[in-house]
Amino acid sequence: MVQASSRCSSGSRPVPARGASSRAGAVVRCTIQEARPASTSASASTPALNGAAPAAAGAVPPIALPRGAVPNRPILEVPDWENQYRRHTAAARHGAGTPGSLSRLRLFSGTSNPTLANEVAQYLGLELGKIKCKRFADGEIYVQVQESIRGCDVFLIQPSCPPVNDHLMELLITIDACRRASARSITAVIPYYGYARADRKVQGRESIAAKLTANLITEAGADRVLAIDLHSGQCVGYFDIPVDHVYGETVILDYLASKRIATGDLVVVSPDVGGVARARAFAKKLNDAPLAIVDKRRSAHNVSEVMNLIGDVKGKVAVLVDDMIDTAGTITNAAKVLQKEGAREVYACATHAVFSPPAVERLSSGVFQEVIVTNTIPVPPENVFPQLTILSVANLLGETIWRVYNAASVQALRD
């Protein structure tokens, strides 16, 4: 039987070799390196490091232990491990290699707006993740993620557009499926947030459905929400998780700038008092264009009555700004008042094209020069009319997703 020839200093206890029988008596002894002073001319009276005895005269001076080594303990060194670690961390920090930096980013789409999700995936240079979604005969929804997302950062694109309840429930089930698939983080990308208008109690015994919806998304397992143009700012506070709120006005402003409307001929109009802050921010981006306000009195849900106009629009190009167009009653009545007050042209700008009946008939009645919306909600072919212009928010969403994934500033997109 072969025995190890190395000695065990400081009375080290023999240890059986791996795989050898303790009865055979084969042992492997370890050599503990003692610290040596840097200078070979150190005197014998100089005390040795690490508690070792002083070196005798003429003895070979001990070598220094590597930094971090524990005295009287065997040392296992991996060659060049420090340089390998530095190279690995530097590559991760600077995002070297696009495939590596995107290795944990996963993009999935629900059934509500797959066209927008595909455009976002093209902007990011990714493919949409494989997911199976079907409905049973009784209307129940089944969702299965068909690829591994363990340890990945998942982004689910699913606006809660009509039918709102079906698409919202699909979003909740998909979030739960990703959570049970051990995703590292789940971001619910909701270009259009349904139930956002039920954000406060106007009368007694009313539900605040915006808060309830936020609770459902949070409890389903979402870690973050990314939304475009929420109906009101307080909706952000309804979530107990981080919310990245981006604005579709960036896309609309770029399009209006391409029309080269003279600044002196332009006036931004809010269709109601509640949208004054939104219209003011929009006007500021248009070289501080003047602002007008339409005073609206609502007698019932989806029914509005315009009372008067605050501001001057005579001979100017009026741009009506709102976050959504549902039945188009508010914005159409406002446009008629603007025409009566002498506006030369009237443009309607909104981020979300809900277009509930009879919105198309009202918008295509000739009151508007152009109706400008985005594709946060898919517009079916039967709702398209000659005055309608649909702009894509895919680049805005894609850039926001990239910034969230890389922990970069989202506010910089609006500044």
- Digit-coded pLDDT (tens) for 204-228: 999 999 999 999 999 999 999 999 9
Position with higher pLDDT, 49 vs 296: 296
227 and 111 both lie in a single domain: yes
Strands 345-353 and 370-374: parallel
Position with higher pLDDT, 89 vs 209: 209
Domain assignment present for 339: yes
109 and 120 both lie in a single domain: yes
Q: What is d(CA 19, CA 1) in angstroms, rounded to the nearest whole number?
A: 14
Structure token digits, residue 326? 């549902």
- Rounded to an integer, the average pLDDT of 166-179 is 98
Which of 222, 246, 270 terminates a domain? The answer is 246
256 and 344 both lie in a single domain: yes
Question: Which of 88-92, 288-292, 324-328 is predicted least confidently?
Answer: 88-92
276 in helix, strand or coil?
helix
pLDDT in tens, 103-129: 899 999 999 999 999 999 999 999 999
Q: What is the pLDDT of residue 320?
A: 97
Q: What is the pLDDT of residue 33?
A: 47
Q: How confident is the model at residue 415 (pLDDT cuts 50, 70, 90)?
A: confident
**What's the structural domain count of the chain?**
2
The boundaries of the domain holding residue 119 are 103-246
363 and 299 both lie in a single domain: yes
Domain assignment present for 79: no
228 and 264 both lie in a single domain: no
Which of 246, 261, 285 terminates a domain? The answer is 246
Burial profile 177-203: b = 16 or more Cβ within 10 angstroms, e = fewer: bbeebebebbbbbbbbbbbbbbbeeee
Burial profile 66-91: b = 16 or more Cβ within 10 angstroms, e = fewer: eeeeeeeeeeeeeeeeeeeeeeeeee
Asked if 286 and 314 touch (Cβ cutoff 8 Å), the reply is no
Domain assignment present for 182: yes
Domain assignment present for 82: no
Position with higher pLDDT, 414 vs 21: 414
The amino acid present at 217, given as its one-letter code, is I
Domain assignment present for 50: no
User: Average per-residue pLDDT in the chain?
Assistant: 83
% of residues, the chain, pLDDT over 70: 73
Count of CB atoms situated within 10 Å of the CB of 290: 16
128 and 219 both lie in a single domain: yes
Question: Which of 3-17, 103-117, 144-158 is predicted least confidently?
Answer: 3-17
242 and 109 both lie in a single domain: yes
Length, in residues, of the chain: 415
Based on the number of CB atoms within 10 Å of its own CB, is 174 exposed (0-12), middle (13-18) or buried (19 or more)? buried
123 and 167 both lie in a single domain: yes
Domain assignment present for 366: yes
The amino acid present at 313, given as its one-letter code, is V
Is it the case that residue 49 has pLDDT exceeding 80?
Answer: no
Structure token digits, residue 114? 């797959």
pLDDT in tens, 355-398: 999 999 999 999 999 999 999 999 999 999 999 999 999 999 99
Q: What is the pLDDT of residue 286?
A: 92
pTM (2 d.p.): 0.75
Domain assignment present for 313: yes
Asked if 346 and 320 touch (Cβ cutoff 8 Å), the reply is yes
Position with higher pLDDT, 379 vs 80: 379
Which of 246, 266, 294 terminates a domain? The answer is 246
224 and 329 both lie in a single domain: no
CATH number at residue 133: 3.40.50.2020
Q: What is the pLDDT of residue 62?
A: 59
115 and 207 both lie in a single domain: yes
What's the CA angle centered on 100, arms 95 and 102, to 5 degrees?
85
DSSP state string for 127-187: -PPPEEEEE-TTS-EEEEE-S--TT-EEEEE---PSSHHHHHHHHHHHHHHHHHTT-SEEE
313 and 209 both lie in a single domain: no
Q: What is the pLDDT of residue 414?
A: 81
Contacts for 358 with CB less than 8 Å, ≥ 6 apart: 327, 328
264 and 315 both lie in a single domain: yes
Structure token digits, residue 3? 């025995």
- Rounded to an integer, the average pLDDT of 315-333 is 95
pLDDT in tens, 247-275: 999 999 999 999 989 888 999 999 988 89
Domain assignment present for 267: yes
